[in-house]
Every structure is written in structure tokens, then in C-alpha cells.
């Protein structure tokens, strides 16, 4: 009996996880859907069937083999170890375990081999990190990344249901319901704050881009600076990236490497105004890259534009890919 749990099944990412599991035909004999105590006992319809929502404690008692977590960092911190102790593989979408040296931080196209049979808590990186490393990893292997300057344009859907409620209310001319996701209006606005500010005056989101990129690319000395901005966009996150390499490269080589990389789509025909946009990336599993050009102001440097659906490859798709890997490797028996 293969049992799969989705913890946070009613949330933005949880719902997307269920959709991607269906599309990827992830096998299971029993599906356990968990949410907060307030939702437990209610029904959630999935694939034409009503499922009972359970609490996280009940989900542990049902002994799932794999649990896909997207119920916030505090829920993951509190409960992931109990799932692991019950013999479950936890794939956690929160930031709770990402920098823990015992937990692999995995983008399957890059470093699935970090997962071993004993990795009981596997961390899904932050959405903005996933799409950036997906595009930079093939280039890093060939030319060696020296420094990254990234500015993000992040969909409000990344802040969850309350951000969607705030956006929709403001769009319809109503006051945002409490609790608000943001201190500023998000409709018709850009907010240069994703998550809370830290002592160094960067936001937590900006520092996630720094630390997680270093861990995934395996280079603790990599130089990287980020500005993360929330934008009134539904479909995905966009990133303007300036990257300097240790080695010289030609634009044509970059095109070839990106075209050949799994999970990436190169969309770069400026003369026809063809480049990725979040609207057109919405609902897609791939990361899209365009606007490739040499940085004419310094040596060995490139500018590029990277877009992905933050709820898909930035969260649900990456997590479901990790679950598929566990099954492929027979760490979890189907």
C-alpha cells in the first residue's frame, strides 16, 4: 500500500501539487489530505471524489510513505521530524529545512543524486531560487559562475491565499480583508519587499536566493546579490539576471547549452518580440529563458531574463519530481 500525504492540501501550492500529481500520474493507493485544524473534517474534492481533510496529527497516525508539505515553515518545523520518525519521506516546500546540512536541497535536474535512502526530510528550494539555478546550472558547469546580480518580479500568488484575496479585493475596489498579505496595496503596485527585513537590510527572500543558490551550485564562495520585488501578476515569477563567469564564452554556446538543458525552454527571438512572460508561463512546468545578451560593460558577463510559474516548477512540480525520483529509485516501494 503506497500512501501519499499532502500537508496544506487546501493552499495555493497544495492545490497545485494535487494537479501536478494527477498530470504526472504519480501512483498511490491511498491519498491523505491534511490541512489546519479549522479545515479538518471538511471535504475536498479531487478527481471527482470527495476526500476527508484530516489534521496533521491524524496524517502522521495514517503512516504515509511520502508527505508533500506546503503548510508554512512552522508546521514543517514542528511536524516533519514526526513524519520522518514514522518512516515517511518528507518533501518540504517551506524554508524550514533548506539550510540544514542533513537535508538535501534538491532541484532534480541538477542534484537529485544528493537524495539517499536515508534522506528523510528533503527540502524544495525557494521558488525564485529554483528557476534561477535551472537556467544558470548548465552555464555554471561550463564557464563557472563568479557573480550574480538578480532582480525579481514575483507573483503575489507566492504569498498564498491571503495575497490572492488582497489582490482580488483591491482590484474590485474593496478594502483588503484582514489579515492582509502586504502592508501596501498590491493591485497596480510593485512592492520592493518579499518577506521580512533582516539585520543586513536585505529581505529574507533576497537572502534565500543567496544561501540556497550557493548550496545547490555547491560553491559557498559564490558572489551573489539580490533585490526581490512583489508584482501584481498571476502567472509566475520573472527575474532579470546579470551573471559574470570565470571563463570567456560566446553567446552561441550559451544558446546551445540552454537549448539542451532538461526542463528549460529557450524563447529568444527579439526581432519577433519573442521572450518569456509570466502570463504565457502560467500552468507550465518548464522554466523559460530569453533576452540573452552580452553585458557590454564588463568581461565574461551575460544578461538574461528567466520566467517560471512559481506554483509549478517553483514549488509543486519540483516537489512531485522529487517524489517520482524516490519511487524510481525504489527508496519508496510502489
| Residues marked as catalytic | 127, 237
Nearer to ligand A2P by Cβ, of 73 and 144: the residue is: 73
Question: Does residue 161 touch ligand A2P according to CB under 6 A?
Answer: yes
Regarding 6 and contact with ligand A2P (CB under 6 A), the answer is no
Query: What's the rounded Cα separation, in Å, for the pair 170 and 160?
Result: 16
Shortest Å distance, C-beta 13 to ligand A2P = 6
Count each helix (H run) and each strand (E run) in the chain, helices first. Answer: 10, 13
Q: Sign (positive/negative) of CA torsion 236, 227, 260, 119?
A: negative
Please give the helix or strand (H or E) that residue 138 lies within, else none: helix 127-143
In the complex, least distance from residue 320 CB atom to ligand A2P, rounded to whole angstroms = 17
312 touches 16 (CB < 8 A): yes
Q: Give the C-alpha separation, 321 to 107, whole Å.
A: 9
Q: Give yes or no for residue 75 binding ligand A2P (CB under 6 A).
A: yes
Instruction: Return the CA Rg of the chain.
Output: 20
Please work out the total of residues on this chain that contact ligand A2P, with binding judged by CB under 6 A.
16
Q: For residue 8, state whether it binds ligand A2P (rule: CB under 6 A).
A: yes
Q: State the minimum distance, in angstroms, from the CB of residue 39 to ligand A2P.
A: 3
Candidates 24, 36, 291, 295; binder of ligand A2P (CB under 6 A) is 36
- 322 is a contact residue toward ligand A2P (CB under 6 A): no
311 touches ligand A2P by CB under 6 A: no
Instruction: Select from 4, 20, 32, 35 the one that contacts ligand A2P (CB under 6 A).
Output: 35
For residues 189 and 271, the answer to whether their CB atoms sit within 8 Å is: no
Paired with 238 in beta bridges are 153, 307
Sign of torsion, CA 163 167 168 169? positive
* Residue placing its CB nearer to ligand A2P in the complex, 70 or 213: 70
Query: Applying CB under 6 A, which residues contact ligand A2P?
Result: 8-12, 14, 35-36, 38-39, 56, 71-72, 75, 160-161
Amino acid at each position: 500500500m503506497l500512501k501519499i500525504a499532502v500537508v496544506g492540501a487546501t493552499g495555493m501550492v497544495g492545490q497545485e501539487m494535487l494537479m501536478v500529481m494527477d498530470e504526472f500520474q504519480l501512483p498511490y493507493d491511498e491519498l491523505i489530505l491534511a490541512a489546519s485544524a479549522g479545515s479538518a473534517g471538511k471535504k475536498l474534492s479531487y478527481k471527482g471524489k470527495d476526500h476527508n481533510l484530516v489534521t496533521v496529527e491524524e496524517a502522521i497516525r495514517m503512516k504515509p510513505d511520502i508527505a508533500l508539505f506546503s503548510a508554512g515553515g512552522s508546521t514543517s518545523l514542528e511536524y516533519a521530524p514526526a513524519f520522518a520518525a514514522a518512516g515517511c519521506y518528507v518533501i518540504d516546500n517551506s524554508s524550514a529545512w533548506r539550510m540544514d546540512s542533513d537535508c538535501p536541497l534538491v532541484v532534480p535536474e541538477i542534484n537529485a543524486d544528493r537524495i539517499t535512502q536515508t534522506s528523510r526530510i528533503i527540502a524544495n528550494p525557494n521558488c525564485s531560487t529554483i528557476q534561477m539555478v535551472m537556467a544558470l546550472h548548465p552555464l555554471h558547469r561550463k564557464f563557472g559562475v563568479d557573480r550574480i546580480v538578480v532582480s525579481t518580479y514575483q507573483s503575489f500568488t507566492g504569498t498564498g491565499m491571503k495575497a490572492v484575496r488582497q489582490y482580488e479585493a483591491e482590484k474590485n475596489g474593496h478594502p483588503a480583508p484582514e489579515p492582509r498579505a502586504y502592508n501596501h496595496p498590491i493591485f497596480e503596485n510593485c512592492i520592493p519587499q518579499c518577506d521580512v527585513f533582516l539585520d543586513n537590510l536585505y529581505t529574507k527572500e533576497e537572502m534565500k536566493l543567496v544561501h540556497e543558490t550557493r548550496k545547490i551550485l555547491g560553491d559557498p564562495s559564490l558572489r551573489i546579490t539580490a533585490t526581490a520585488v512583489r508584482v501584481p501578476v498571476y502567472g509566475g515569477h520573472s527575474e532579470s539576471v546579470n551573471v559574470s563567469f570565470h571563463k570567456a564564452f560566446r553567446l552561441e554556446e550559451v544558446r546551445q547549452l540552454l537549448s539542451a538543458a532538461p526542463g528549460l525552454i529557450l524563447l529568444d527571438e527579439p526581432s519577433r518580440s519573442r521572450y518569456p512572460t509570466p502570463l504565457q508561463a502560467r500552468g507550465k512546468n518548464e522554466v523559460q529563458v530569453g533576452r540573452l545578451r552580452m553585458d557590454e560593460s564588463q568581461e565574461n558577463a551575460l544578461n538574461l531574463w528567466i520566467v517560471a510559474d512559481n506554483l509549478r516548477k517553483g514549488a509543486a512540480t519540483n516537489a512531485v519530481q522529487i517524489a517520482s525520483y524516490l519511487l524510481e529509485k525504489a527508496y519508496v516501494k510502489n
